[in-house]
Structures are given as C-alpha cells and as structure tokens.
Chain A
C-alpha cells in the first residue's frame, strides 16, 4: 500500500513533467504519428506504377510500334520518350528522366518474319533498386509475349488447338503463391518495419532523456525522496505514465495499419497486443540500461540514437541478415528491433504460433530485464551526480 501510494505520487509528478516540457509531447505523440502518416502516404500505391521508361526504336514498323504500345499499357511502365540512339537514352537515365529503356535495332521485323531470330535489348538501372527490378520484369514479359505472338501464328496455321499451343509455348508453368502479401506491396513490407523502428527509437531516447534530465535539472534527490529512497519504486513510478502513452501510440499504429489499411495479419489479434506490449517494455528497458551504463545524458542519448539508427539496417528486412557476414548475424541479436521484426514476421505476418518465435520473445524479455544490472548505479547517480555542461 505504501509503495502503491508512492508510485501514484511519482506518476502525478511525471505527468506534470511531461506537460511542462513540450519536447515530450512532440517525441511521444506528434513525431510518431507524423512518421506513420509519412510512410503510409508515401507508398500508398503499394507498388510504384507508371514509372517513366524510354524506347529506342530504329526499326519503326507496325510490329515494333505495337510492342511499344503494349509496354505502355503495362501498369508499372509509361513510355515517356523515344530516343534516336542508345547513347541518348543512356544520357536520359543519367539525367533522371527515365529508369529504363527498350532497344529495337533495325531489321527486327524483317528477321522475325524470315525466321532469323532478331535480338532486342532492354537496359535498366539498378541504382534505384525497386524501379530497376520492377521494370525489368515488365520488359521481360514484353519480349516473351513478342516471341509467343510469332510462334502462335505459325502453330495456328498448322492447325493446333489452343491447349496444344499453350503447352508448346510454355511447357512448364510456375504457379506462384505469394503468401500473405499477394500484391507484393512495398507499403506492407517497409512500413511494418520502419514505423515500429522509429517508435522504438523514440522510446529509447525518451527513456534515457527523462532520467538524464533529472540530473540535469537537479531533481534526482527529489525523485528518490518521493520514492522513499527505493530505486525500483522510483523507476516504476517514473516510467509507468510513459509506458501507457507509448502503448497507446503503438496500439494506434497497429490499429491503423492492420485494421484500417488492412495490412495482412494472419495471427490472432491478441498476438498484436502482446507484441505491442513487449515492444514498448523492452525498448524502455534498453533506454534505461543505456542511461545506467553511462549515467550521463548526452552519452546515453548518443548511444540510443546510434543504436536505433543502426538497427534499421541490422533488422535485415531490406537486406536479409542471412546475407550478411557471420559475425554480423550474431551481432544482430543485440538489436531489439531485430527480435521485434522476427516475431512480427513469424507470428503476425505469417500467423505461426508464438512457440516458433520463442527465442526472439525471450530476447525481448531479456532486454526488459537489462536495467536490473544498473539499478544501483542509477540510484547513486540520482543521489550524488551533479550536471556539468
């Protein structure tokens, strides 16, 4: 009872602090929402559509023009310009006007009709990865279709049935099942990693910041006094309010993304609740630990921000962890976001049971318990440290 009362007093005190310093409102509510809006509107289309491509058509016959038209009709590409030569088209890529172009050399139609196997080429730039890879797919389809059109005509003339023609054109077909993300949406795949990552960044920073400012503004002694000189009570009382606010933000994010925008989530809704809870608690654990390691505001903030920014890469969502060097694969365990992402990927995105992600869940619990090691140091800092600018 005594403890509960103290915690209650600390919570009231914390509420007053949060209201007084506007920075908290920005970092805990405004910025996370801004980031969520940014990423979901930026990639609203899911897959980039109507990307500019060029054509170098030196043959200029009805056949090559129909190929160009078909390319234009594809969802992802839009033919914006014709160029007189490959050099010109390449320079257009360098000037950022197009991402790729198709080259139809002179005599393509002649050779095609006389069975001399003409060769067309398509050039695409991999300096913008998504654009390059997606356009390559479109251009490849176009050439295959062009091939098929010719073959189809001769086979029809020989009196084959449609099924036979189909078989002869493509004896083996790939039946693709894109589990959980059949649209190959980049929004689904990037937003669900980056937005939680940035929310975790804010939790890290605010956790370290709010302890550090106690020393900076010389209120550490007061904090310990209210807590009855019990560091555990002090920490719990201080962070409970923040935990609740961050939980609200995390659940708002999950609700918006999974319920309103309809991102795939095959697991149960309770899994979302559990994941949000462990995400907030483990990040707070990390932030407090970072402060306890170096009871200095600026060092702990530096550590937190550097770690959080690095974790966006180490999470292995864009470039998979299995493609990295062995040492880095082990190092990735030290990043809470990595474990968060693995649980999300296994239990929510693919809907497998939590037992399959037990290791990552345990790791997040370990992050939550990390402050235990530095409790004494924090208490000492609160009571004795003096801020030096």
Chain B
C-alpha cells in the first residue's frame, strides 16, 4: 500500500516539477534563446555558409615567359579546369606578387622561357607554382590543377615521343599501372558534408548545457536565499527533482534533436545514410548524457550569466577533440583522456559514422556503450550535487528558523523586563 502511495506521490511530484520547469523555460528569454532560437537558426546559418561545399574558379595569375603554343595550351587547360580561373596575365613575377598582395589572385603559375625548348629537346620542363598558403582549400585547388594539367600534357608528349604502333600500346606505355581513386563517403569532398554533421551534434550539447545553466541561474537568483531548489512540498526527494527537470528538457530536445539531425541535413542535402533504429539508439543516450551533464554544470555556476563565459569557448576545442578536423589517431593522449569527459566526443563520432558513412550500430558499439555510461555517471553526479544543494537549503532554512525563534525569545524577555 505504502509503496503504491509513494509511487503515486512521486509521479505527481515529478509531473509537477516537469510542468513548473516548462513554465519557467518559456518565460525566461535567456533560456528561450538557447533552447529554441539557437538550435533552430544556427544550423540553417551554418548550412548556408557551407552549402557550396567546394571552392571553384580560384583566381590565379600567369607569368608566361615562354610564349609558345605549348605554354598557351597549359594556360588554356588550367583555365578550363573546374577549380582554377586564370584571372590575370602578369609581365613578371613582381607584378604577379603585387596581385597576390592585393588579394586578387591566390596563386601564380610561372612558365619559364625554356619551357617548350626543353620539351622539344627531350629535356624535362618545369612549371613553377607559387601558392598563397593562407588558405588550404585554395592552395589545394591551385596546386592540384597544375599537377593534373602537367600530367595530362605529359601523357600526350610521351605518346608522341615513344613512337608505338597502336593507340592501345601508346596508352599502356605511358601508364603501365593504371589506378582508380575512389573517395567513399562524401565523394564530392564537400566541406559542408564533412563538418556539418559534427557541428549539428555539438550544437545539441552546447545549447542544452547553456540553456540548463541559464535556467538554474534564474531559479537561484529568484530564490530568496540564493538556492537552486525552492522549498516546496513537491521538492523533497532528490530523484523527483532530477527526473522532473530532465523530463522537461528531454521533451524539448526530442523535438530539437529531430530538427537538427533529421530535418536540417535533408533540407540542405547533406549525406543521410543512418538507419533510424540505430540513430535513435545513439541519440537517446546522447541527449540524456547531455542533460545530466548540463545539470551537473549548472550547479557549479553562481550567477546565471557565468555559464556563458564557461561553456561558449569550449565549443571549438570540443569540435577538434571529436577527431573530425584533426585525425583522432593523432590527438595526444592527454587530450584524448580529457575528451572522455564530454558526451559530444562520442556523440559526434557515432553520429558521423552512422549518418555519413552508413555504419551499423554494431560498428559504433564502443561509442554507444560509453554514451550510456556517461548518461549513468552524469545522472549520479547530478543527483549528488542536487542532494548537496537541497541539504544546504534545508540547513539554511533551519538556521533562519532558529534565528527567528531566538529573536522572538529575546523580544519576549525584553517585554517582560
């Protein structure tokens, strides 16, 4: 009987706290920004930024000292390629340099005066490529185009020089071992398809932590004693408080998660290979882990704004710790260890492999298990810090009560005298 009553009462309390938390959430403009506005707007902005995926037509300058049909062929072929556009013809390297300095071109092709003489004399000819290394993608475009064009021209020259009998023989002689390069998963090499899945998953964690932190800060500031947990008959029992609040956050983030991980990639045509059961299996513990992580962090901040100063800058290092930009195999051990503290590390890794690489749940088993462990560990931590907070609150109230009593006694004494 009493078990049922307890359960019933507990459920009622959880629902009460859930309802109250939801009410607080929609009233607090700071929380609205991080729970609703940022998760909706930011992915759209990021997708827009990276939607063009690759850079085409990088402007280069050409210094042609050879003025031969071969050098003109080289320039024509470069210009015709997708990645490079011959924007300027410069008289000499100095002029080309001034074009680079004014950011008009990103690289310089210099064809020396002995270019065609060398080729016709059966000597190796060179083309000098000067790259502005400030941007990796433009460097890649400028260099790889030059490489591709020289290789193509080289093959033509080779077949002419060799003097074979048949076309097929020419082909084989110029390239005895053929090769195929197959970029799998993200075949266009698009920048958005590569970075966006990780960013989306990270936005989920960061906005959750920021929102929870702000909500906790508000609760604390509105409380008379600066406590996180109000004194109310519904707020006894730590598990009820933690569960009630988590439910409220989970409700919002079930929706936001679907928007971020399903709708946005579809809207902008980013790869989406994940099967929904495995996606659900990974995202569920991820959101739980993020919520309890956020609740733990929220107990550490005294003023509501402080959470912003603490959490915002972490976003960038966290993105790097996932191993997306800098390969995971090359992250130093210290940082690998620290990365284990954050749900995003494993959430992003699992999501990218499920979603962009079409892996199955079995392939991300390690990440999946760690996410559950993190969810459990952060739940216990959140429980512990909330219990501490409640203990503090009760102590405070008792103290207050005691003081009041003493004051009344004192007054009574004075009155008697």
Contacts and interface: CB of A to CB of B under 8 A. Distances in A.
B181 A139 contact: yes
A147 B175 contact: yes
Contacts of B305: 209, 212, 297-298, 301
Interface in A293-329: 297-299, 301-302, 305-306, 308-310, 312-314, 316-320, 322-325, 328
Interface in B320-336: 320, 323-332, 334-335
A244 interface: no
Given A127-B352, A305-B312, A174 B127 contact: yes
A118 B131 contact: no
A79 interface: no
Interface stretch (A39-47, A281-289, A372-380): A39-47
Contacts of A298: 29-30, 214, 304-305
B128 A186 contact: no
B113 to A, nearest CB: 14
Nearest to B160: A171
Contacts of A301: 305, 308-309
A325 B51 contact: yes
Interface stretch (A1-9, A224-232, A252-260, A346-354): A346-354
Contacts of B162: 168
Given A44-B332, A117-B175, A173-B126, A201 B133 contact: no
A214 B45 CA distance: 33
Interface in B183-207: 183-187, 189-195
Nearest to B210: A305
Contacts of A118: 177-178
B337 interface: no
A167 B122 contact: yes
A80 B288 CA distance: 36
B359 A94 contact: yes
Interface residues of A, number: 116
A49 B330 contact: yes
Nearest to B59: A322
Given A171-B119, A201-B313, A298-B305, A140 B180 contact: no
A317 B139 CA distance: 12
A56 B329 CA distance: 21
A249 interface: no
Give the residue among A26, A50, A305 with the most B Cβ atoms within 10 A.
Answer: A305
A386 interface: no
Give the residue among A123, A179, A342 with the most B Cβ atoms within 10 A.
Answer: A179
B164 to A, nearest CB: 11
Given A186-B326, A205-B308, A305-B312, A170 B133 contact: no
A345 interface: yes
A318 B191 contact: yes
Contacts of B135: 316-317, 320
A23 interface: yes
A35 B317 contact: yes
Contact of B150 (A136, A140, A173): A173
B176 A168 contact: no
B178 A117 contact: yes
A148 B339 CA distance: 45
A174 B149 CA distance: 10
Interface stretch (B151-159, B233-241, B247-255): B151-159
Contacts of B158: 168, 171
Given A168-B161, A172-B154, A298-B29, A43 B127 contact: no
A146 B30 contact: no
A130 B328 CA distance: 11
Contact of B363 (A23, A94, A140, A171): A94
B133 A179 contact: yes
Contacts of B349: 96
A43 B332 CA distance: 9
Give the residue among B175, B180, B194, B305 with the most A Cβ atoms within 10 A.
Answer: B305
B48 A325 contact: yes
A127 B323 CA distance: 10
B49 A324 contact: yes
Interface string A111-131: 010011111111111111111
A128 B323 contact: yes
B176 A115 contact: yes
A170 B154 contact: yes
B368 to A, nearest CB: 12
Interface string B46-82: 1011111011101000000000000000100000000
A88 interface: no
A164 B121 CA distance: 10
B313 A198 contact: yes
Interface in B15-43: 29-30, 33-34, 38, 42
B326 to A, nearest CB: 6
B176 A23 contact: no
B52 A325 contact: yes
Contact of A306 (B38, B157, B352): B38
B102 interface: yes
B315 A309 contact: yes
A93 B357 contact: yes
A184 interface: yes
A112 B49 contact: no
B172 A322 contact: no
A16 B401 CA distance: 36
Contact of B177 (A90, A117, A166, A175): A117
Nearest to A90: B184
Nearest to B203: A309
B176 A117 contact: yes
Interface in A41-77: 41-45, 48-52
Given A42-B335, A48-B326, A205-B309, A125 B183 contact: yes
13 contacts: A42-B320, A117-B171, A125-B183, A127-B353, A143-B177, A146-B177, A147-B177, A172-B74, A173-B126, A212-B305, A305-B312, A309-B316, A328-B49
Shortest Cβ-Cβ A-B pairs, 8 listed: A352-B101, A94-B359, A181-B133, A143-B179, A323-B55, A389-B221, A126-B186, A172-B150
Given A23-B306, A99-B327, A174-B126, 10 more contacts: A27-B309, A94-B360, A125-B185, A127-B353, A146-B177, A167-B122, A171-B161, A177-B130, A318-B136, A319-B137
Interface of A: 23, 26-27, 31, 35, 38-39, 41-45, 48-52, 90-91, 93-96, 99, 108, 112, 115-133, 136, 139-140, 143, 146-147, 150-151, 163-164, 166-168, 170-181, 184, 186, 189-190, 194, 197-198, 201-202, 205-206, 209, 212, 216, 297-299, 301-302, 305-306, 308-310, 312-314, 316-320, 322-325, 328, 342, 345-346, 349-350, 352-353, 356, 389
